[in-house]
């Protein structure tokens, strides 16, 4: 809240132009209020900017500036909801726009006060700090409007109401539209900023579930994604990076293609050709390092693509080529967990002493493996950039606009105040567009063809083979079981390539419960680049941990659901058992199934960081059928969750549905192969995706796991980790086959 008070000390800005502009109020409830291109909008003439976050226009429309990128999870709608709750304009008069990273730089981090509510131009839209900021901004504007009306009408401000854009005083029958009072309101100085409503007084948040504001523009094809921008004079580029990551360009034969239709130029990208800036990026610039590449620039994309395919290129593969096969890498990762890891992530008690005291018959141990996976957002990587000596304009479907903005400055050497980043809509993120390596490649190509906007588009094959993947990870889990079958000590080891994420094992409820536990990690020197992928670390570790718990339950002879209820009943966060009880009750758990069918359960938490009452807990029950010849069919999925509280029920439901399908695809289908250091799979014919026919008619999302604890945690990533182990555990129930690696489609599931 402190940040807000400071912000409201800013003198309110009124544009010098005369007040004007027609009053336009939409007639359709829940109609789109977002523009197809909600970026770079100057304040309208006659508007009042109450803070950098909120401007009210003379027509009564309310512009709210959003930092967290909307990648389909609905951040624009969520922020519109905050404004509606406290300010109450007409719903369709709320205009969410993207906050300008350039302005953030120029105005001393107005949107990203270090350590403040909006430090992060990405991620958790519902973070309480960010939510409170918007609620405060809206409440402060409302009180100024009321004070302005009170002064004008000579009535008590406390008797004035604001509802759906109309300011009114019942006693005197005075009323005004919001836009009519903004000039006066902006002059008001309050003695103190109003308190925001207590959550129990909310009438919109948590009560209404508006559809996303951009949907009307999606369904008629007018929403502008990165690949859809068309600045004047734009040309297109097709790009190819070294097929082996870390490899170098040796030569290419430009003469072979220079006369092909439309070809304008062939340019190269080298790491280290950037002009470093002294900006401090949200992630170290190292995660965005350029890769050696060739790009063909042409008048049209198809011409560029055709010419690139015809261009003879010689690469020096470099050391990555030593990894000849997937199996070689899997073995290296698996070998790494057969000995003590170089890093001890957490260690409590003395697991070795407990293991030494245990009978061999009470010991259980298993090794697990998950492969590289590609985020595969459906909008292929792309970006459009115009570089001139003293200015950069960059249109890009980023997941982190501040990172991409700084990367553009760092690549070109153009002063940050002259770099203009234009955040477009995003055709799927899933973590792929956070590190901004794609942004850097676009800028690096465009700066070689200055003076023209260049739209760089990766082919699907190129995007798949030049990823920042979910890391390949191996794990060993080992436990001793007590007389009651419950674990008494635990050893966990993880291995993966450089930069792999450990979250989801040292910081789980299981590790927290154990009195004797050690979790270790070991880095294996793979050359394949990795990055965030929906639920980093957790998406593999939840599979390891929850498959292992299932194996413990089976060894103990206890129903896997009851085993978990007993185990996680020891964890102080009651949401865990609440979620389990919810899916137990709703999924038909325990009902007899025909041969070849099985139910499995798994539970996990994304974001808890080792602490109770943090993060989002999700429990999933999968019901599957495995035919005798091994064909897997998902019959039913039941999901319960605990985020604490929720703001938009349907937004939460869609994320749980989507995250569950994402995790299902990850576990059943996904896995990249390596051959001579290169990624083998290129397109969806080789890297299969779940389609409608592969799914049950519905995914049952249940709300009975919510504890109403005072937090609103994120929901996009948490479902991803648990559906895989739930399905794997169901396969075991159906077939007796224990699956310890993904993707499941590579396993022989046949039974007799």
Helix runs in 413-520, H state only: 437-446, 460-465, 509-513
**CB neighbourhood size of 633 (10 A):** 14
CA 85 to chain centre: 26
Which residue among 300, 343, 515, 595 contacts another protein (CB under 8 A)? Answer: 300
Strand partners, 175: 168
| 218 touches another protein by CB under 8 A | yes
| 232 touches another protein by CB under 8 A | no
Task: Using the minimum distance from each CB to another protein, give the nearer residue, 55 or 459.
Answer: 459
Task: Using the minimum distance from each CB to another protein, give the nearer residue, 219 or 353.
Answer: 219
CB of 17 to another protein, least distance (A): 32
- Pairwise CA distance, residues 86 & 80, whole Å: 10
Which residue among 660, 707, 741, 742 contacts another protein (CB under 8 A)? Answer: 660
- Pairwise CA distance, residues 492 & 482, whole Å: 18
Task: Using the minimum distance from each CB to another protein, give the nearer residue, 412 or 455.
Answer: 455
410-435 burial: b if 16+ Cβ within 10 Å, else e = bbbebebeebbbbbbbbbbbbbbbbb
| 695 touches another protein by CB under 8 A | yes
Task: Using the minimum distance from each CB to another protein, give the nearer residue, 154 or 221.
Answer: 221
Which residue among 29, 691, 748, 752 contacts another protein (CB under 8 A)? Answer: 691
Task: Using the minimum distance from each CB to another protein, give the nearer residue, 616 or 665.
Answer: 665
Which residue among 27, 220, 280, 752 contacts another protein (CB under 8 A)? Answer: 220
- Pairwise CA distance, residues 154 & 637, whole Å: 61
Which tokens is 107 given? 């105005």
**Widest CA span in the chain:** 86
Compute the C-alpha angle 326/332/338, nearest 5°: 140
CB of 583 to another protein, least distance (A): 18
Q: Write the DSSP symbol of residue 273.
A: -
- What mask, x for binding another protein by CB under 8 A, covers residues 398 to 437? ---------------------------xxxxxx-------
Contact 182, 48 (CB under 8 A): yes
Contact 138, 151 (CB under 8 A): no
596 burial (CB, 10 Å; 0-12 / 13-18 / 19+) is: middle
Place of tokens 């069919």: 633
- Pairwise CA distance, residues 726 & 599, whole Å: 8
Which residues, numbered 65-124, are part of the site for another protein (CB under 8 A)?
Answer: 71-73
CB of 536 to another protein, least distance (A): 17
Which residues, numbered 551-610, are part of the site for another protein (CB under 8 A)?
Answer: none
- Pairwise CA distance, residues 655 & 710, whole Å: 20
CB of 28 to another protein, least distance (A): 10
Task: Using the minimum distance from each CB to another protein, give the nearer residue, 140 or 424.
Answer: 424
CB of 161 to another protein, least distance (A): 30
Q: Give the number of C-alpha atoms closer than 13 A to the C-alpha of residue 42, restricted to the C-beta side.
A: 5
| 446 touches another protein by CB under 8 A | no
Q: Given 3-state DSSP classes, what are the helix, strand and coil percentages for the chain, each rounded to the nearest 5?
A: 30, 25, 45
Task: Using the minimum distance from each CB to another protein, give the nearer residue, 616 or 720.
Answer: 720
Region near another protein per CB under 8 A, out of 210-218, 318-326, 438-446, 594-602? 210-218
| 33 touches another protein by CB under 8 A | no
Q: How many residues bind another protein (CB under 8 A)?
A: 62
Which residues, numbered 453-492, are part of the site for another protein (CB under 8 A)?
Answer: 457, 459-460
Region near another protein per CB under 8 A, out of 102-110, 438-446, 506-514, 654-662? 654-662
Region near another protein per CB under 8 A, out of 240-248, 402-410, 499-507, 694-702? 694-702
- Pairwise CA distance, residues 329 & 102, whole Å: 43
| 522 touches another protein by CB under 8 A | no
Q: Write the DSSP symbol of residue 325.
A: B
CB of 197 to another protein, least distance (A): 26
> Please, what sign has the CA dihedral across residues 427, 430, 433, 438?
negative
Q: Is 550 helix (H, G, I), strand (E, B) or coil?
A: helix
Task: Using the minimum distance from each CB to another protein, give the nearer residue, 267 or 457.
Answer: 457
Task: Using the minimum distance from each CB to another protein, give the nearer residue, 302 or 417.
Answer: 302
**Cα distances (Å, whole numbers) of residue 607 to 71, 409, 508:** 20, 32, 10
| 445 touches another protein by CB under 8 A | no
Which residue among 19, 363, 690, 709 contacts another protein (CB under 8 A)? Answer: 690
Which residues, numbered 303-322, are part of the site for another protein (CB under 8 A)?
Answer: 303
| 631 touches another protein by CB under 8 A | no
Cis peptide before 743 (omega within 30 of 0): yes
Give me the numbers of helices (H) and strands (E) for the chain, helices first please. Answer: 18, 28
| 680 touches another protein by CB under 8 A | no
| 302 touches another protein by CB under 8 A | yes
85-120 burial: b if 16+ Cβ within 10 Å, else e = bbbbbbbbbbbbbbbbbbebbeeeebbbbeebbbbb
Which residues, numbered 705-744, are part of the site for another protein (CB under 8 A)?
Answer: none
Length of the chain: 752
Which residue among 281, 377, 383, 575 contacts another protein (CB under 8 A)? Answer: 377
Which residue among 224, 398, 402, 742 contacts another protein (CB under 8 A)? Answer: 224
| 26 touches another protein by CB under 8 A | no
Region near another protein per CB under 8 A, out of 562-570, 577-585, 588-596, 697-705? 697-705
Place of tokens 């014919």: 685
Region near another protein per CB under 8 A, out of 94-102, 512-520, 541-549, 652-660? 652-660
Region near another protein per CB under 8 A, out of 106-114, 129-137, 167-175, 372-380? 372-380
The dihedral formed by the CA atoms of 336, 339, 343 and 347, expressed in degrees to the nearest 10? 130
Task: Using the minimum distance from each CB to another protein, give the nearer residue, 151 or 211.
Answer: 211
| 219 touches another protein by CB under 8 A | yes
End-to-end CA distance of the chain: 64
Which residue among 114, 115, 158, 221 contacts another protein (CB under 8 A)? Answer: 221
**Cα distances (Å, whole numbers) of residue 675 to 321, 328, 497:** 8, 10, 17
CB of 694 to another protein, least distance (A): 9
**C-alpha closest to that of 323 among 673, 677, 680:** 677
Which residues, numbered 256-275, are part of the site for another protein (CB under 8 A)?
Answer: 261
Which residue among 201, 359, 685, 748 contacts another protein (CB under 8 A)? Answer: 685
Which residue among 99, 624, 661, 668 contacts another protein (CB under 8 A)? Answer: 661
Contact 592, 535 (CB under 8 A): no
Task: Using the minimum distance from each CB to another protein, give the nearer residue, 103 or 300.
Answer: 300
**C-alpha closest to that of 402 among 353, 435, 357:** 435
Q: Is 445 helix (H, G, I), strand (E, B) or coil?
A: helix
Q: By the criterion CB under 8 A, which residues form the site for another protein?
A: 71-73, 209, 211-212, 214-216, 218-225, 227-228, 230, 236, 261, 300-303, 376-380, 425-430, 457, 459-460, 650-651, 654, 657-662, 665, 683-685, 689-693, 695, 697-699
């Amino acid at each position: 809240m402190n940040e807000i008070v400071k912000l409201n000390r800013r003198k309110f800005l009124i544009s010098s132009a005369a007040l004007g502009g027609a009053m336009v109020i939409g007639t359709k409830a829940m109609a789109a209020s977002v523009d197809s291109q909600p970026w770079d909008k100057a304040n309208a003439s006659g508007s009042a900017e109450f803070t950098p976050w909120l401007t009210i226009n003379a027509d009564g429309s309310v512009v709210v500036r959003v930092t967290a990128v909307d990648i389909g999870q609905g951040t624009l709608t969520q922020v519109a909801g905050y404004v509606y709750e406290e300010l109450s304009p007409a719903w369709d008069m709320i205009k969410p726009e993207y906050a300008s990273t350039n302005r953030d730089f120029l105005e001393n981090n107005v949107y990203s006060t270090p350590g403040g509510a909006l430090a992060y131009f990405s991620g958790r839209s519902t973070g309480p700090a960010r939510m409170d900021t918007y609620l405060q901004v809206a409440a402060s504007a409302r009180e100024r409007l009321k004070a302005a009306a009170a002064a004008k009408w000579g009535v008590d401000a406390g008797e004035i109401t604001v509802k759906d854009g109309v300011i009114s005083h019942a006693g005197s029958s005075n009323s005004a539209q919001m836009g009519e009072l903004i000039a006066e309101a902006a002059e008001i100085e309050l003695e103190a900023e109003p308190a925001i409503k207590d959550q129990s007084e909310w009438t919109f948040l948590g009560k209404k579930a508006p559809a996303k504001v951009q949907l009307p523009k999606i369904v008629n094809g007018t929403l502008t994604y990165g690949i859809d921008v068309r600045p004047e004079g734009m040309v297109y580029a097709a790009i190819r990076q070294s097929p082996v990551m870390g490899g170098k360009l040796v030569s290419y034969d430009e003469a072979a293609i220079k006369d092909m239709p439309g070809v304008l130029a062939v340019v190269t990208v080298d790491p280290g050709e950037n002009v470093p800036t002294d900006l401090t990026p949200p992630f170290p610039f190292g995660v965005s390092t350029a890769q050696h590449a060739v790009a063909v620039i042409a008048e049209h994309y198809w011409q560029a693509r055709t010419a690139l395919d015809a261009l003879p290129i010689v690469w020096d593969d470099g050391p990555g080529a030593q990894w000849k096969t997937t199996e070689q890498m899997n073995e290296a990762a698996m070998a790494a967990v057969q000995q003590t890891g170089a890093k001890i992530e957490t260690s409590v008690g003395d697991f070795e002493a407990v293991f030494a005291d245990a009978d061999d018959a009470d010991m259980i141990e298993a090794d697990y493996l998950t492969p590289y996976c590609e985020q595969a957002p459906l909008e292929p990587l792309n970006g459009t950039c115009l570089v001139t000596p003293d200015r950069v304009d960059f249109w890009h479907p980023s997941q982190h606009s501040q990172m991409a903005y700084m990367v553009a400055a760092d690549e070109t050497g153009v002063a940050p105040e002259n770099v203009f980043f234009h955040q477009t809509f995003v055709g799927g993120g899933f973590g792929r567009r956070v590190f901004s390596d794609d942004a850097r490649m676009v800028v690096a190509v465009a700066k070689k063809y200055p003076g023209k906007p260049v739209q760089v588009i990766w082919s699907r094959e190129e995007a798949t083979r030049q990823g920042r993947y979910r890391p390949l990870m191996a794990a060993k889990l080992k436990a001793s079981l007590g007389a009651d079958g419950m674990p008494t000590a635990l050893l966990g080891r993880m291995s993966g390539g450089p930069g792999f994420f450990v979250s989801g094992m040292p910081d789980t409820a299981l590790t927290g419960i154990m009195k004797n536990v050690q979790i270790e990690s070991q880095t294996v020197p793979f050359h394949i680049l990795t990055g965030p992928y929906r639920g980093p670390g957790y998406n593999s570790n939840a599979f390891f941990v929850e498959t292992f718990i299932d194996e413990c339950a089976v060894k103990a002879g206890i129903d896997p659901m009851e085993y978990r209820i007993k185990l996680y009943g020891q964890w102080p966060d009651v949401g865990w058992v609440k979620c389990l009880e919810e899916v137990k009750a709703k999924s038909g758990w325990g009902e007899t199934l025909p041969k070849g069918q099985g139910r499995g359960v798994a539970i996990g938490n994304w974001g808890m960081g080792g602490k109770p009452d943090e993060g989002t807990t999700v429990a999933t029950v999968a019901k599957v059928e495995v035919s005798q010849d091994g064909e897997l069919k998902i019959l039913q999925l039941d999901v319960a969750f605990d985020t604490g509280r929720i703001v938009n029920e349907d937004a939460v439901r869609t994320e749980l549905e989507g995250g569950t399908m994402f995790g299902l695809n990850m576990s059943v289908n996904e896995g990249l192969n390596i051959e001579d250091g290169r990624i083998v799979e290129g397109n969806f014919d080789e890297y299969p995706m779940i389609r409608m026919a592969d799914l049950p008619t519905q995914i049952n999302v249940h709300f009975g796991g919510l504890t109403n604890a005072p937090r609103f945690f994120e929901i996009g990533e948490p479902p991803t980790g648990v559906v895989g182990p739930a399905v794997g555990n169901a396969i075991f129930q159906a077939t007796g086959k224990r699956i310890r690696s993904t993707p499941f489609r590579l396993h022989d599931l046949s039974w007799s």
